[in-house]
């Protein structure tokens, strides 16, 4: 039976080989790193959501500008303050971008970064408007990252109750139809968060829940309000009175906030959730056609440990079925370009000198053309796990273009393509790649061909 | 595909490319054209086409009853953002079926709903997810790949499957010199998936170049007086317009089927505002097809299908939640427009599905099947057995002229 192989380890469970960071030599090395401290978060910090430039400042500043008289001095002053806020938020976001890529280039504990990407996608939030777009990375830093080796239920609560999720899935304006506000303002429910909680975040669409459960959960969640002007709060006057029954369990509704915590606890502990999460992990890391035995093993560990994600991830590493030699998955675009930066070992100085425009031109826009917009999936179901999806002709064209043209813009002196084959592909290099690397007309062509190769793009 | 052909494809010029050399194009056995547009996210049928004649409508939707809707027949009115299509309604070139759905019921998931709509039925577990348009093409032997085009960034899954079809998306550039192409061909040689994808990418980039001429003619047609009148004086722009222009250009040639999708329909909040953009894009897409196709529009049917409709009542956030029955918009000179193409159950609570959604009165797949029967002469047994296995076609709704 197949077992640990460093070539599989760096691609399937990491961001690829690096000329700077040594690849894990054993399974236990990966596990020790993952169980240990999150050194990248310390070394390249990104503000937590609560510590980032507060989202709640943006909207009042905008409002103040609108209220001031057109052409007045007051308006000009307020506009300056708003512009300063936006400029500061942009700069913060650029700094997060630098830190993000530095982590991916420098880390030894690459599985942790892959887990952060996996869980960010599991709880997809795609917001294109307003101040939230500056806060997506701080949200991940606070609500996702600390929990990837912690408990699932803690992550579920941290993300579900974050203002961004409440806003994204319409919960921030959902009212119990019979609540005080619901009756007086003739407003009602929005089912979206309740539905996605069941369908995507916990049980999965195959789970045994019905439209009635969606509706009851939506009623139970009422009271969680969000406004741009004042942020998040629990508001009794918006909560649907009476009890609700979700998946056969009745919640009294007498203590709305405690009931919401309780239903999230119950959803996280539901046996179908264990199966759904286990399956998603295997589909993401190992194969889109998952081995049922492997899935059931991880689900059992999830259930036995109360959703301890370190234990579940470790079980995946320990299971020989995770080490099938065939690499049938394709690196999605963000991972592909990040692996490229890691293989090229782009310097900290160069990354810090890049403007947001440079990031857009060299990394974000190309990845968008490959089908993946940075932290903006097209819906709450996240990005595709299907290899064929990422290799449509138009996405393929964008991959080839990036590989052939961007390395020389990201690094002033490209390596000799022949040594680049070794440092980038390790034991995955085949004879034809050595041949084309030596037949390349120049360094950019040789390096590009290595990055465009199936050996580099598969995992 | 052998290596030699791959290397040729990678290195060759557009003019010499087999796919776009006119003599290499096989004619399909049909003269009519079918365009299938998937509206992703669940279009609110009763906002696009408002049953204002039902007194419940205003009651259910106090915030979704904006002024400026155009009266169609005293009972139905057309959303203001679809006003550019009003002349088509008058000319009998656009109509709608107000209450249809796929067999999907229950969980109202976009993703399951779209899968079922594009596959054309419930998928057997573990089956290859092929699309119904592809299965339709398979019933006619000997067609070439350019008979059908999947257009746009998101490949049309209606066309997924065993029968070869072509793909195109705006703005595909590969940017390889012949030397790099040759070397790349060598490293892709042993990986069939990369090999095929790269070859398609290169073909697509050359098709786009070769179509520049046709595109200019379509641009002229779009600036005609007729078209400018409908569009309120401005030439529409955007990805959807590029997609429609390309589809029209191919349909003027040997292509007979084109499929693509438009998204943005999931209007949970502030729908009065949020639905304007997708409706406008839809109207522009149809008018671009019409302008681009010129006289061929008379031989064309366009079906706009969505995974489900939305709740009859507006929700707490002045939007609507996922529902069941929805509307199918259709257009084209080959179809019988200017009329409501099917029954509507009304909005009385007892007539709603689950007391919340529009009750579907027919299977949307049956309408698609009858349109293919009418346009392409496909037999009903083929349609019921192979294209939509297990579907009962029912009576012909006579959408085709």
For chain B, list the domains and their CATH numbers.
32-175+236-387 (3.40.720)
How close does chain A come to B202, measured CA to CA in Å?
Answer: 8
Q: Which of B171, B204, B317 sits opposite A170 (nearest CB)?
A: B317
Mean pLDDT, range B131-136, rounded to an integer: 92
Assigned domain for A378 exists: yes
The residue of B159, B315, B319 whose CB has the most chain A CBs within 10 angstroms, and thus the best one to mutate to test that interface, is: B315
Over the stretch A46-89, which tens digit does the pLDDT of each residue have?
A: 999 988 877 677 778 888 998 998 889 999 999 999 999 888 88
Whether B142 shows a pLDDT value over 70: the answer reads yes
- Residues 6 or more apart whose CB falls under 8 angstroms from that of A15 comprise A104, A107, A110, A113, A114, A335, A338, A339, A342
Q: Are residues A248 and A170 in the same domain?
A: yes
Q: Are residues A446 and A363 in the same domain?
A: yes
Report helix, strand and coil shares of chain A as percent, to nearest 5: 65, 5, 30
Q: Are A424 and A21 in contact (CB under 8 A)?
A: no
Domain count, chain A: 3
Q: Are residues A133 and A220 in the same domain?
A: no
DSSP string, A361-393: IIIIHHHHHTT--TT--SSTT-S---HHHHTSH
At residue A51, the pLDDT reads 86
Look at residues A119, A148, A177 and tell me which one is the last residue of a structural domain.
A148
Please choose, from the candidates B175, B287, B193, the residue with its C-alpha nearest in 3D space to the C-alpha of residue B234: B287
Q: Are residues A347 and A452 in the same domain?
A: yes
DSSP string, A102-148: HHHHH-S-HHHHHHHHHHHHHT-----SGGGGGSHHHHIIIIIGGGT
Assigned domain for A158 exists: no
As beta bridge partners, residue B70 has: B78
Distance of alpha carbon A224 from alpha carbon A256, whole angstroms: 9
As beta bridge partners, residue B131 has: none
Q: Are residues A137 and A80 in the same domain?
A: yes
Residues of chain A positioned with their CB less than 8 A from the CB of B108:
195, 211, 214
> Which residue in chain B has the smallest CA separation from A453?
B187
The pLDDT-based confidence of A3 (bands split at 50, 70, 90) is: confident
Mean pLDDT, range A187-192, rounded to an integer: 90
Please choose, from the candidates A132, A164, A139, the residue with its C-alpha nearest in 3D space to the C-alpha of residue A232: A164
Q: Are residues A382 and A433 in the same domain?
A: yes
At residue A53, the pLDDT reads 76
Over the stretch B278-335, which tens digit does the pLDDT of each residue have?
A: 999 999 999 999 999 999 999 999 999 999 999 999 998 899 999 999 999 999 999 9
The pLDDT-based confidence of B127 (bands split at 50, 70, 90) is: low
Whether A136 shows a pLDDT value over 60: the answer reads yes
Distance of alpha carbon A383 from alpha carbon A288, whole angstroms: 13
Mean pLDDT, range A177-205, rounded to an integer: 92
Look at residues A269, A284, A300 and tell me which one is the last residue of a structural domain.
A269
Ramachandran class of A422: left when φ > 0, alpha when ψ lies in -120 to 50, beta otherwise: alpha
More confident residue, B200 or A445: A445
Mean pLDDT, range A112-124, rounded to an integer: 97
Q: Which of A191, A396, A455 sits opposite B198 (nearest CB)?
A: A396
Q: Are residues A112 and A214 in the same domain?
A: no
Candidate ranges A11-15, A176-180, B27-31, B154-158; pick with highest mean pLDDT: A11-15
Contacts with B, A 367-426, CB within 8 Å: 369, 371, 378-379, 381, 387-388, 391-394, 396-397, 400-401, 404-405
Whether A274 shows a pLDDT value over 60: the answer reads yes
Assigned domain for A384 exists: yes
Distance of alpha carbon A252 from alpha carbon A220, whole angstroms: 9
Q: Are B231 and B287 in contact (CB under 8 A)?
A: yes
Whether B10 shows a pLDDT value over 60: the answer reads no
Q: Specify the DSSP class assigned to residue B353.
A: B
At residue A433, the pLDDT reads 95
More confident residue, B21 or B322: B322
Assigned domain for A205 exists: yes
Whether A376 shows a pLDDT value over 90: the answer reads no
Over the stretch A334-355, which tens digit does the pLDDT of each residue have?
A: 999 999 999 999 999 999 999 9
Domain span holding position A54: 37-148
Over the stretch B179-238, which tens digit does the pLDDT of each residue have?
A: 888 899 999 999 999 999 898 888 777 766 556 556 777 888 888 888 888 887 788 888
Assigned domain for A172 exists: yes
Contacts with B, A 22-81, CB within 8 Å: none
Over the stretch B47-99, which tens digit does the pLDDT of each residue have?
A: 999 999 999 999 999 999 888 999 999 999 999 999 999 999 999 999 999 99
Distance of alpha carbon A286 from alpha carbon A186, whole angstroms: 50
At residue B6, the pLDDT reads 40
Q: Are residues A339 and A452 in the same domain?
A: yes
Contact (CB<8Å) A397/B111? no
Neighbour count for residue B325 (Cβ, 10 Å): 25
Q: Are A160 and A197 in contact (CB under 8 A)?
A: yes
Q: Specify the DSSP class assigned to residue B237.
A: -
Assigned domain for A444 exists: yes
Please choose, from the candidates A237, A198, A245, the residue with its C-alpha nearest in 3D space to the C-alpha of residue A219: A245
At residue B297, the pLDDT reads 97
Rg, Å, chain B Cα set: 22
Please choose, from the candidates A333, A318, A313, A454, the residue with its C-alpha nearest in 3D space to the C-alpha of residue A383: A333
Please choose, from the candidates B239, B320, B234, the residue with its C-alpha nearest in 3D space to the C-alpha of residue B275: B320
At residue A74, the pLDDT reads 92
Ramachandran class of A349: left when φ > 0, alpha when ψ lies in -120 to 50, beta otherwise: alpha
Whether A20 shows a pLDDT value over 90: the answer reads yes
Residues of chain A positioned with their CB less than 8 A from the CB of B172:
393-394, 397
At residue A247, the pLDDT reads 97
Over the stretch A230-243, which tens digit does the pLDDT of each residue have?
A: 777 889 999 999 99
Q: Which helix (H) or strand (E) holds B218?
A: helix B212-222
Q: Are B301 and B330 in contact (CB under 8 A)?
A: yes
Distance of alpha carbon B306 from alpha carbon B120, whole angstroms: 12
Q: Are residues A250 and A349 in the same domain?
A: no
Tokens of B74: 């005293």
Distance of alpha carbon A256 from alpha carbon A263, whole angstroms: 11
| Percent residues over pLDDT 90 in chain B | 58
Look-up: residue for tokens 């234990």? A311
Over the stretch A312-322, which tens digit does the pLDDT of each residue have?
A: 999 999 999 99
Assigned domain for A79 exists: yes
Tokens of A443: 């360094």
Q: Are B236 and B288 in contact (CB under 8 A)?
A: yes
Please choose, from the candidates B392, B398, B347, B351, the residue with its C-alpha nearest in 3D space to the C-alpha of residue B371: B398
Q: Which of B175, B186, B197 sits opposite A405 (nearest CB)?
A: B175
More confident residue, B25 or B401: B401
Q: Are residues A391 and A440 in the same domain?
A: yes
Residues of chain B positioned with their CB less than 8 A from the CB of A211:
106-108, 354
* Interface A:B, Cβ pairs < 8 A: 144
At residue B61, the pLDDT reads 96
At residue B128, the pLDDT reads 64
Judged on CB neighbours under 10 Å (0-12, 13-18, 19+), B141 is: exposed
Distance of alpha carbon B393 from alpha carbon B325, whole angstroms: 18
Q: Which of A175, A401, A432 sits opposite B186 (nearest CB)?
A: A432
Contact (CB<8Å) B269/A387? no
Distances (CA, A) of A53 to A3, A129, A134, A139, A359: 46, 16, 9, 12, 21
More confident residue, A117 or B105: A117
At residue B353, the pLDDT reads 96
Q: Which helix (H) or strand (E) holds B50?
A: strand B49-50
Distance of alpha carbon A385 from alpha carbon A400, whole angstroms: 20
Neighbour count for residue B336 (Cβ, 10 Å): 18
Contact (CB<8Å) A396/B194? yes
Residues listed for chain B: 401
Distance of alpha carbon A340 from alpha carbon B346, whole angstroms: 58
Q: Are A222 and A192 in contact (CB under 8 A)?
A: no
Distance of CA B331 to the CA centre of its chain: 11
Q: What is the mean pLDDT of chain A?
A: 93
Q: Are residues A135 and A183 in the same domain?
A: no
At residue B26, the pLDDT reads 33
Please choose, from the candidates A370, A376, A285, A298, the residue with its C-alpha nearest in 3D space to the C-alpha of residue A328: A285
The dihedral sign for the CA sequence A154, A158, A160, A161: positive
Distance of alpha carbon B375 from alpha carbon B299, whole angstroms: 8
Q: Are A203 and A272 in contact (CB under 8 A)?
A: yes
Q: What is the mean pLDDT of chain B?
A: 86
Look at residues A269, A285, A319 and tell me which one is the last residue of a structural domain.
A269
Over the stretch B169-178, which tens digit does the pLDDT of each residue have?
A: 776 777 788 8
DSSP string, B245-291: HHHHHHHHTT--EEEEEEE-----S-HHHHTHHHHHHHHHHHHHHHH
Judged on CB neighbours under 10 Å (0-12, 13-18, 19+), B354 is: middle
Q: Are residues A176 and A237 in the same domain?
A: yes
């Amino acid at each position: 039976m197949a077992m640990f192989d460093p070539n599989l380890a760096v691609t399937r469970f990491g961001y690829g080989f690096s000329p700077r960071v040594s690849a894990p030599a054993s399974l236990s090395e990966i596990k020790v790193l993952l169980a240990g401290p999150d050194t990248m978060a310390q070394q390249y910090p990104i503000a937590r959501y609560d510590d980032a430039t507060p989202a709640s400042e943006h909207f009042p500043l905008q409002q103040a500008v609108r209220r001031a008289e057109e052409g007045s001095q007051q308006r000009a002053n307020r506009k300056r303050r708003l512009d300063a806020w936006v400029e500061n938020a942009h700069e913060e976001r650029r700094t997060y971008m630098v830190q993000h890529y530095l982590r991916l280039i420098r880390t030894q504990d690459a599985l942790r970064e892959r887990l952060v990407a996996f869980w960010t996608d599991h709880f997809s939030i795609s917001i294109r408007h307003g101040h939230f777009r500056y806060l997506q990375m701080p949200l991940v830093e606070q609500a996702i990252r600390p929990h990837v080796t912690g408990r699932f239920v803690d992550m579920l609560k941290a993300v579900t109750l974050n203002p961004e999720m409440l806003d994204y899935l319409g919960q921030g304006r959902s009212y119990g139809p019979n609540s005080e506000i619901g009756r007086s303002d003739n407003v009602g429910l929005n089912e979206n968060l309740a539905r996605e909680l069941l369908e995507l975040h916990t049980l999965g669409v195959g789970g045994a829940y019905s439209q009635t459960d969606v509706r009851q959960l939506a009623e139970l969640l009422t009271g969680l309000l969000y406004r741009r002007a004042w942020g998040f709060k629990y508001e009794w006057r918006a909560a649907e009175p009476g009890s609700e029954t979700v998946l056969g369990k009745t919640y009294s509704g007498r203590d709305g906030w405690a009931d919401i915590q309780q239903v999230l606890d119950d959803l996280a502990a539901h046996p179908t959730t264990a199966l759904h999460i286990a399956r998603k992990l295997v589909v993401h890391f190992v194969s889109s056609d998952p081995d049922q035995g492997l899935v059931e093993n991880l689900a059992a560990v999830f259930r036995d440990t109360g959703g301890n994600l370190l234990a579940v991830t470790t079980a995946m590493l320990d299971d020989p079925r995770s080490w099938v030699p065939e690499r049938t998955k394709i690196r999605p675009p963000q991972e592909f370009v990040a692996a490229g930066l890691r293989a090229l070992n782009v310097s900290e100085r160069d990354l810090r000198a890049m403007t947001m425009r440079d990031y857009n031109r060299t990394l974000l826009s190309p990845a968008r053309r490959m089908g993946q917009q940075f932290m903006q999936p097209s819906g709450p179901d996240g990005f595709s796990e299907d290899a064929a999806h990422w290799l449509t002709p138009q996405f393929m064209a964008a991959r080839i273009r990036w590989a052939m043209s961007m390395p020389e813009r990201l690094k002033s002196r490209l390596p000799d393509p022949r040594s680049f084959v070794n440092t980038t592909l390790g034991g995955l290099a085949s004879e034809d790649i050595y041949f084309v690397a030596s037949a390349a007309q120049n360094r950019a062509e040789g390096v590009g061909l290595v990055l465009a190769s199936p050996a580099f793009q598969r995992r | 595909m052998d290596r030699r052909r791959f290397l040729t494809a990678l290195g060759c010029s557009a003019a010499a490319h087999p796919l776009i050399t006119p003599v290499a194009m096989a004619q399909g056995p049909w003269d009519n054209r079918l365009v299938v547009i998937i509206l992703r996210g669940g279009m609110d049928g009763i906002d696009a086409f408002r049953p204002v004649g039902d007194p419940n409508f205003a009651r259910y939707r106090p915030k979704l009853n904006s002024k400026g809707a155009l009266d169609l027949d005293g009972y139905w009115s057309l959303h203001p953002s679809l006003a550019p299509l009003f002349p088509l309604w008058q000319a009998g070139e656009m109509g709608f079926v107000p209450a249809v759905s796929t067999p999907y019921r229950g969980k109202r998931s976009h993703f399951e709903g779209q899968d079922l709509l594009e596959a054309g039925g419930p998928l057997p577990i573990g089956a290859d997810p092929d699309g119904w348009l592809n299965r339709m093409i398979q019933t006619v032997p000997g067609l070439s790949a350019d008979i059908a085009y999947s257009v746009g960034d998101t490949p049309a899954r209606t066309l997924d499957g065993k029968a070869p079809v072509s793909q195109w998306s705006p703005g595909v550039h590969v940017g390889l010199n012949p030397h790099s192409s040759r070397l790349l061909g060598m490293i892709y040689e042993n990986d069939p998936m990369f090999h095929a994808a790269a070859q398609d990418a290169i073909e697509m980039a050359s098709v786009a170049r070769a179509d520049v001429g046709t595109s200019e003619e379509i641009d002229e047609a779009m600036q005609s007086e007729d078209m400018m009148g409908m569009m309120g004086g401005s030439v529409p722009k955007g990805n959807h317009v590029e997609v429609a222009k390309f589809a029209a250009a191919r349909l003027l040639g040997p292509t007979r089927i084109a499929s693509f999708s438009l998204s943005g329909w999931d209007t949970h909040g502030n729908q009065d505002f949020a639905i304007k953009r997708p409706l406008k894009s839809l109207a522009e897409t149809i008018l671009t097809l019409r302008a681009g196709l010129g006289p061929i529009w008379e031989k064309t049917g366009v079906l706009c299908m969505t995974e489900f409709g939305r709740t009859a009542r507006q929700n707490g956030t002045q939007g609507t939640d996922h529902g069941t029955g929805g509307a199918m918009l259709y257009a084209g000179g080959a179809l019988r427009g200017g009329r409501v193409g099917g029954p509507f159950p009304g909005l009385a609570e007892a007539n709603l599905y689950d007391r919340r959604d529009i009750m579907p009165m027919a299977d949307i797949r049956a309408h698609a099947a009858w349109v293919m029967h009418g346009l392409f002469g496909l037999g009903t047994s083929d349609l019921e057995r192979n294209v939509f296995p297990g579907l009962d076609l029912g009576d012909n709704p006579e959408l085709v002229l």
